[in-house]
């Protein structure tokens, strides 16, 4: 009579697959958040550069103000300078260094591997769900903390972008006022 090998219960295999999928999703979510982090950093650096260039232009306008300039012009230039300064401050806040927790330190993975070394396959299989849940406990706070930091970074950058947009619009108004008043 032929020897048969035990077949894993379909429910057990489905459970293992779901646990693997959850762990894979944690890793994928972490990678997406890191990508967003990098993108926000790049945008914040660009906002600082743009604001710096515009600030130089505003200071030139302020330096070249004529004594007979419309009364609103110096006030608009002050508001523009403040908005650009706000852009720089918020962008720097978005760029500030934040500690990020390592999601799967090698020591933790090594500890789990050592725990399983020398055990029988059936025994390892019985520990498998618990090992996944242990890894979930590592990943859950890491992705939660990273998500919160990405949202904070995005919030600072959004304020910086609105400030620079308002400054550009006001700079256009000042330019139009200058052109119109000089032609008359």
Residue 10 lies in a domain: no
27 found inside a domain = yes
Q: Is residue 13 part of a domain?
A: no
Q: Sign of the CA dihedral 90, 92, 94, 98?
A: negative
State how far the alpha carbon of 140 is from the alpha carbons of 18, 38, 87, 180, in Å. Answer: 16, 21, 33, 60
Decide if 40 is inside a domain.
Answer: yes
Examine residue 151 and state whether it is found in any structural domain, yes or no: yes
Half-sphere exposure of 11 (CA within 13 A, CB side): 0
Answer yes or no: pTM beyond 0.85.
no
Distance CA 150, CA 98 (A): 10
Q: How many domains is the chain built from? A: 1
Tokens 């012009």 locate to 73
**Residue 5 maps to a domain:** no
Which pLDDT value is given to residue 109?
74
> Is 11 among the domain residues?
no
pLDDT digits 0-9 by tens, 68-118 = 777 778 888 999 999 999 999 999 999 998 888 777 667 777 777 787 777
What pLDDT shows up at residue 134?
Answer: 84
What integer pLDDT is reported at residue 8 of this predicted model? 55
Per-residue pLDDT of the chain (184 residues; tens, 9 = 90+): 455 555 556 778 888 889 889 989 999 999 999 999 999 999 999 999 999 999 999 999 888 887 777 777 888 899 999 999 999 999 999 999 888 877 766 777 777 778 777 778 887 788 788 888 888 888 899 999 999 999 999 999 999 999 999 999 999 988 887 788 776 6
153 is in which domain, residue-wise?
22-183
Residue 153 lies in a domain: yes
Q: Tell me, rounded to whole angstroms, the distance of Cα 60 from its chain centroid.
A: 35
């Amino acid at each position: 009579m032929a020897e048969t090998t035990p077949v894993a219960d379909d429910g057990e295999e489905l459970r293992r697959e779901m646990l693997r999928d959850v762990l894979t999703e944690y890793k994928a979510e972490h990678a997406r958040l890191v990508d967003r982090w990098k993108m926000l950093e790049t945008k914040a650096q660009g906002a600082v550069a743009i604001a710096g260039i515009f600030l130089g232009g505003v200071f030139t306008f302020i330096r070249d103000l004529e004594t007979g300039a419309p009364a609103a012009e110096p006030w608009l230039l002050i508001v523009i300078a403040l908005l650009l300064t706000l852009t720089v401050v918020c962008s720097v806040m978005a760029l500030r260094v934040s500690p990020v927790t390592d999601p799967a330190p090698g020591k933790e993975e090594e500890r789990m591997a050592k725990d399983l070394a020398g055990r029988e396959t059936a025994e390892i299989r019985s520990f498998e769900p618990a090992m996944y849940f242990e890894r979930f406990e590592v990943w859950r706070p890491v992705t939660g903390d990273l998500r919160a930091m990405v949202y904070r970074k995005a919030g600072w950058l959004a304020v910086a972008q609105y400030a620079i947009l308002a400054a550009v619009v006001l700079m256009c108004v000042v330019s139009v006022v200058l052109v119109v008043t000089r032609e008359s």
